[in-house]
Chain A
Amino acid sequence: MVRLVFLGKLGDAAPANLSEVALPGEVKTLSDLRDWVGRTAPLLGRAIAATQTRIVLNQTVAHDMSACVRDGDEIAFLPPMSGG
């Protein structure tokens, strides 16, 4: 199982059943995961693709989309930020 977190407007587009998921065997990397999310929840996939989304793996910004996704990981999808 992995934990998925969708922030900001991505949270509005994310189905509730996508927060804790057992990933199929073919999902091995962050890139695979992003594609799988797009297939599983097309509305969310389009929202992720339409904006500059950053991915955070276990609380660290992921720069390499070929990084492996492992059981127990937490992966967050961050749209452009608007603090201050």
Chain B
Amino acid sequence: MIVRVTPDAFDPQAEIASFIAGRDDAGALASFVGYCRAATDGAVVSELSIDHYPGFTEHEITRLADEIHRRFGCLDLLVIHRVGKIAPGQAIVLVAALATHRGEAFDTVRILMDYLKTDAPLWKKETGPAGARWIEPRPEDHARRAVAGKEVA
């Protein structure tokens, strides 16, 4: 399992290629990439900034990833999350799961993303022409997290 919290831009396709290189034990790869949008609800976003708590953020994301990795029995898991300043179009987060069959791969990626939205110690701030605003988790994020929690339990 690889977990990386980084201020550096990354290429999701290159990361996935490196992650699966030499693996012939997996029958399935599922992945999700979250990108920085150029607009939210019609408001232009010129920059996204993600605050984190060094050490604690890495530890918590690793703990969540490890819990879901073991629960769904995937073969390997890759998690990369950007912090700091991010430009529209750049990748924010990549979750990729290798598994024997597609079910474990899909479940691992979907549920880990639902966990990261509300439980990863990260704080997003969008900046646009009207100023900056901190992003709060949406009610649907909490609803999805509640459903995911039942699937993990």
A interface vs B, CB < 8 Å?
5, 7-9, 11-12, 56, 59, 76, 78-84
Best-surrounded residue of B34, B61, B93, B118 (most CB of chain A within 10 A): B118
- With a CB–CB cut-off of 8 A, which chain B residues contact A78? 53, 121
29 contacts between A and B (CB under 8 A): A7-B52, A7-B121, A8-B123, A9-B123, A9-B125, A56-B53, A56-B56, A59-B59, A76-B53, A76-B56, A78-B121, A79-B123, A80-B118, A80-B137, A81-B118, A81-B121, A81-B122, A81-B123, A81-B137, A82-B117, A82-B122, A82-B123, A82-B135, A82-B136, A83-B61, A83-B81, A83-B118, A84-B34, A84-B120
Which B residues lie within 8 Å of A82 (CB)? 117, 122-124, 134-137
A9 to B125, CA, bound (A): 9
Q: Is B113 an interface residue (CB 8 A)?
A: yes
Q: Complex Cα distance A7/B53, Å?
A: 7
- Is B93's CB under 8 angstroms from A84's CB? yes
Q: B123 contacts which chain A residues (CB < 8 A)?
A: 7-9, 79, 81-82
| Chain B residue contacts of A7, Cβ below 8 A | 51-53, 121, 123
Residue in A8, A79, A80, A82 with the greatest tally of chain B CB atoms within 10 Å: A82
- Chain A residues with CB under 8 A of B137: 80-82
Cβ-based interface call for B89 (8 A): no
Is B119 located at the chain interface by the 8 A CB criterion? yes
Chain B residues with CB under 8 Å of A76's CB are 53, 56
